[in-house]
Amino acid sequence: MSRRLAEAGYRLRSYDVDAAAPRTVETLAAVADGAGIAILMLPSSDVVEHVLVDEGLLDALAAGSLVVDMSSSEPMRTRALAEEASRRGVELVDAPVSGGVRGAEAGTLSIMVGGSSAQLERCRPLLERMGSKVAHVGAVGSGHALKALNNLLSATTLLISSEALVAARRFGLDPHVFLDVVNGSTGRSLSTELKLPSFVLSETYDSGFALQLMVKDLRIALGLARATDAPFALAEASAELWSRAADALPADADHTEIARWVAEALER
């Protein structure tokens, strides 16, 4: 995503706590120097709050700056952070993404923006360099709510697709034939079209999105359900299975390894 912005002519100040990651400045505070827009891509609300408040990025940004949180964060905490930013003269919008590593590289991400129309127009040129679909989904926090619900759907679809794949193999169906037919039928999904053939049948399990992050997003979605009294029986069951997989697999496991866990769990 940073590379696409740089190629478009934007001047970037990039920082990562991982010293091995590409970066152009050596301190977080240096990111704010002269920056009108600060983009965050971080793993959780805890980290976002730490960077903005505890580490002082909000204080370092000039009044009138805009923070674009492209992380997958908790909607209500995002709204609270937007209020905190406003008290310091800084604006904050949420703009989480979907599309994975391939989408980021190709600039075809789907970006869900929560904030005012004016705020979206201010950062739209940057977002359109990173995504092919930029949608204004509501007030601040709405993007993070939609992203969590999207990942609930994605996770549950991958889980049931993995179970179906195990059943197909046990019956004696060729898994490649199984997926080819499903992908021309009503059961197809991104999981059957991309994730299972590319990362599971190949046994690479390298989609680039961590299983632990998927579990975090499922928990955010469940929190939304409880806050709105929405019926989430299937979501509860899905989240429970994903949590069990997270406990059993290595901490750095890719989320597509849920398919391997499903197969091994059934074998036991």
Q: What phi and psi values does residue 189 have, to the nearest 5 degrees?
A: -160, 175
Q: Which two tokens stand for residue 104?
A: 């980021």
| 8 A C-beta contact, residue 39 and residue 68 | yes
Q: Specify the domain boundaries for CATH 1.10.1040.10 within the chain.
A: 145-267
Pick the CATH number of 145-267 from 1.10.8.590, 2.60.40.10, 3.40.50.150, 1.10.1040.10: 1.10.1040.10
Q: Specify the domain boundaries for CATH 3.40.50.720 within the chain.
A: 2-139
Q: Is 226 exposed, middle or buried (0-12, 13-18, 19+ CB in 10 A)?
A: exposed
pLDDT for the residue numbered 268: 57
Give 176's DSSP letter.
Answer: H
Gap between the Cα atoms of 197 and 208, Å rounded = 15
Helix (H) or strand (E) holding 247: helix 233-248
pLDDT for the residue numbered 22: 83
- Known catalytic residues are 147
Residue ranges for the chain with pLDDT beneath 70? 266-268
Residue 64: C-alpha distances to residues 91, 191, 203 (Å): 7, 42, 48
Is 0.75 topped by the overall pTM?
yes
Architecture of domain 2-139: 3-Layer(aba) Sandwich (3.40)
> Phi-psi region for residue 227, left (φ > 0), alpha (ψ -120 to 50) or beta?
alpha
